């Protein structure tokens, strides 16, 4: 399905908005949580040492809490920890963590309340990532994220966003408030220089 010519109609038309934006196109979606059948993490892979039981894991978590923070990360999506795996942490989109170990698919992090555990790395993004100075875009129209699509972000006409990935028809962007997600590329216009005012376009 081709993206519509965004200049031909208002971007605030009703329920068929997402179809016009190319919702039929394949795009990255938020990964499934454990409640949807995701396998529990391999603690030996996560921790880098032999783990015979959960008690041993938590004993080493106490040692990890005394290690220096490697980096910081922000949650891209909500995540509900598996009730069968006490080593996992639940978190909300936008939450900030101290990263203690990021060498495997499941990162060991510390939350603001000092609770420590593991989180899936594809649900978080390092806050230390430096953005290309050219990668900003302006929203050409209002856009309302689709219900049930937590990977999307809503847009307000005229707002400026950081572009994290523009390799597809849905760009991964970061809003000024720190939220990250996908937005339809035909609702955005790239800025050559960061901070260029809308009137200059």
In the chain, pLDDT over 70 holds for what percent of residues?
Answer: 58
Domain count within the chain: 2
**DSSP reduced 3-state for 119:** strand
How many other CB atoms are found less than 10 A from the CB of residue 177? 7
The answer on 49 and 120 residing in a single domain is yes
Which among 126, 144, 174 is the end of a domain? 126
Query: Do 97 and 72 form a contact (C-beta atoms < 8 A)?
Result: yes
The answer on 112 and 57 residing in a single domain is yes
pLDDT for 155 beyond 90: yes
The answer on 111 and 41 residing in a single domain is yes
pLDDT for 184 beyond 90: yes
Q: What is the CATH number of the domain that holds 190?
A: 2.30.30.40
| Rounded-to-integer distance, Cα 6 and Cα 23, Å | 14
Confidence at residue 193, expressed as pLDDT on a 0 to 100 scale: 60
| Rounded-to-integer distance, Cα 89 and Cα 23, Å | 32
The answer on 187 and 158 residing in a single domain is yes
Domain span at 74: 35-126
- Torsion sign over Cα 85, 89, 90, 94: negative
The answer on 50 and 94 residing in a single domain is yes
Give 37-48 pLDDT, tens digit per residue.
444 444 444 444
The answer on 150 and 120 residing in a single domain is no
Confidence (pTM): 0.47
End-to-end alpha carbon distance in the chain: 29
Which has more confidence, 112 or 11?
112
Confidence at residue 61, expressed as pLDDT on a 0 to 100 scale: 60
The answer on 136 and 85 residing in a single domain is no
Confidence at residue 66, expressed as pLDDT on a 0 to 100 scale: 64
The answer on 95 and 79 residing in a single domain is yes
The answer on 138 and 104 residing in a single domain is no
pLDDT for 161 beyond 80: yes
Which among 95, 126, 157 is the end of a domain? 126
Domain presence at residue 74: yes
Give 116-148 pLDDT, tens digit per residue.
889 999 888 887 655 554 589 999 999 999 887
Structure tokens at 133: 């100075």
The answer on 162 and 98 residing in a single domain is no
Query: Which of 52-56, 77-81, 195-199 holds the top average pLDDT?
Result: 77-81
Give 60-82 pLDDT, tens digit per residue.
666 666 666 678 888 888 899 99
Confidence at residue 18, expressed as pLDDT on a 0 to 100 scale: 39
| Rounded-to-integer distance, Cα 59 and Cα 182, Å | 39
Confidence at residue 96, expressed as pLDDT on a 0 to 100 scale: 84
């Amino acid at each position: 399905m081709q993206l519509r010519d965004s200049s031909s109609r208002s971007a605030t038309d009703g329920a068929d908005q997402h179809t016009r934006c190319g919702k039929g196109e394949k795009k990255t979606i938020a990964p499934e949580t454990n409640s949807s059948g995701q396998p529990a993490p391999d603690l030996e892979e996560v921790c880098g040492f032999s783990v015979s039981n959960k008690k041993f894991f938590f004993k080493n978590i106490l040692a990890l809490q005394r290690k220096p923070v490697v980096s910081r990360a922000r949650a891209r999506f909500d995540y509900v920890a598996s009730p069968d795996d006490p080593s996992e942490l639940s978190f909300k989109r936008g939450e900030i963590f101290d990263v203690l170990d990021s060498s495997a698919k499941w990162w060991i992090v510390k939350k603001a309340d000092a609770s420590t555990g593991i989180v899936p790395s594809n649900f978080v993004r390092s806050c230390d990532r430096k953005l290309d100075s050219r990668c900003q875009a302006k929203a050409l129209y209002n856009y309302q994220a689709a219900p049930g699509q937590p990977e999307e972000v809503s847009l307000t006409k005229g707002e400026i966003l950081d572009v994290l990935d523009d390799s597809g028809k849905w760009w991964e962007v970061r809003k000024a408030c720190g939220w990250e997600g996908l937005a339809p590329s035909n609702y955005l216009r790239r800025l050559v220089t960061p901070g260029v005012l809308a009137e200059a376009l």
